[in-house]
Structure 1
């Protein structure tokens, strides 16, 4: 083999090795991210719906919890409906030919206040429901108090569902 052929073979070998190292590093980093997402998805109350957690409980507890959470959701429903209506009105007003920033801001504030009131009712109902449970059942359901939304593709579905019913 000539010296030129050896240099070309060495350059190709170095390039292939660098490519292999980069690919291996990328796979290693992605594997860690995938493992984190899987672990996150398995934590109750984060990537899992409240009802899935409740459905795994004993029948008597499950019925009590569902009844309590549904009652607080029904109490909070008018607040969430008012929040959505005020936000829709603000959007319509913002798109009107004449813009009234004071009115739009007032509608957005009303929307936020209604949503906060609804969330407070949901949380109060959840706390009341949790107060009637055993420590083990409370521990299993405690993540329902988390304000985090589910991750990945479920965000869009959760947003669409929140327009139809309170969380």
Structure 2
């Protein structure tokens, strides 16, 4: 090999090494960024799913609530399936070359009815569980529902209500 071939080989090797080192460094950076986000996400103080509404209650009551939700969802499986099927039908009707408005309205109504029936079953399960709670537990449960689940209030409204409650509590001792 001539001296010129060695130069090309050396330059090619250097370029390849720089490329590989950059790739490893970039991958490591992406991993650390993603790992940092996962850690921050895992540290969120309040999950938002309905099953966490009983988080302030005892472990036994939490298990009872989760069981009640499971039972309500099990009883409403047909409504959930029907709602999914009707949503597929709505999408099929919307994608059709000719829009059949009456069929679309019928499918939307069926979807809505299935969703309402599903929600009613879940809400009945929540109400049945709440009926088993003591007054103090119901207050904690209501706070949990206010902070999580489908009864969650927007932050500004929740803040206003908290301020109103604190003002009412502040006014009560003065008036008594």
The TM-score range, normalised by the shorter chain, is 0.5 to 0.7
Q: Secondary structure of 1:130's partner? A: helix
In 2, the alpha carbon distance for the partners of 1:58 and 1:115 equals 31
Kindly indicate whether the alpha-carbon contact (under 8 Å) linking 1:83 and 1:115 is maintained by their aligned counterparts in 2: yes
TM-score by length of structure 2 reads 0.53
Aligned-residue offset at 1:150: 8.0
Segments of 5+ residues of structure 1 without an aligned counterpart are 1-40, 153-167
- Residue 123 of structure 2: aligned partner: 123
- Residue 145 of structure 2: aligned partner: 144
- Residue 90 of structure 2: aligned partner: 90
Measured on the aligned residues, the alpha-carbon RMSD in Å equals 2.9
* Structure 2 CA distance for partners of 1:59 and 1:48, relative to 1, 3 Å: same
Aligned-residue offset at 1:49: 2.5
Of the structure 1 ranges 86-95 and 53-62, higher mean CA displacement relative to structure 2 is found in 53-62
Larger radius of gyration: 2
How is 1:7-156 mapped onto 2 (pairs within 5 angstroms)?
48-142=48-142, 144=145, 147-148=150-151
Kindly indicate whether the alpha-carbon contact (under 8 Å) linking 1:93 and 1:100 is maintained by their aligned counterparts in 2: yes
Aligned-residue offset at 1:64: 1.5
In 2, the alpha carbon distance for the partners of 1:115 and 1:53 equals 21
Segments of 5+ residues of structure 2 without an aligned counterpart are 1-43, 156-176
In 1, the alpha carbon distance for the partners of 2:56 and 2:152 equals 21
Aligned length: 109
Q: Deviations over 1:127-160 (max 9, x none)?
A: 01110011122112225387456879xxxxxxxx
Of the structure 1 ranges 116-125 and 65-74, higher mean CA displacement relative to structure 2 is found in 65-74
Of the structure 1 ranges 109-118 and 142-151, higher mean CA displacement relative to structure 2 is found in 142-151
Q: Deviations over 1:76-107 (max 9, x none)?
A: 23212211210121111111112211111100
Q: Secondary structure of 2:85's partner? A: helix
* Structure 2 CA distance for partners of 1:53 and 1:121, relative to 1, 3 Å: closer
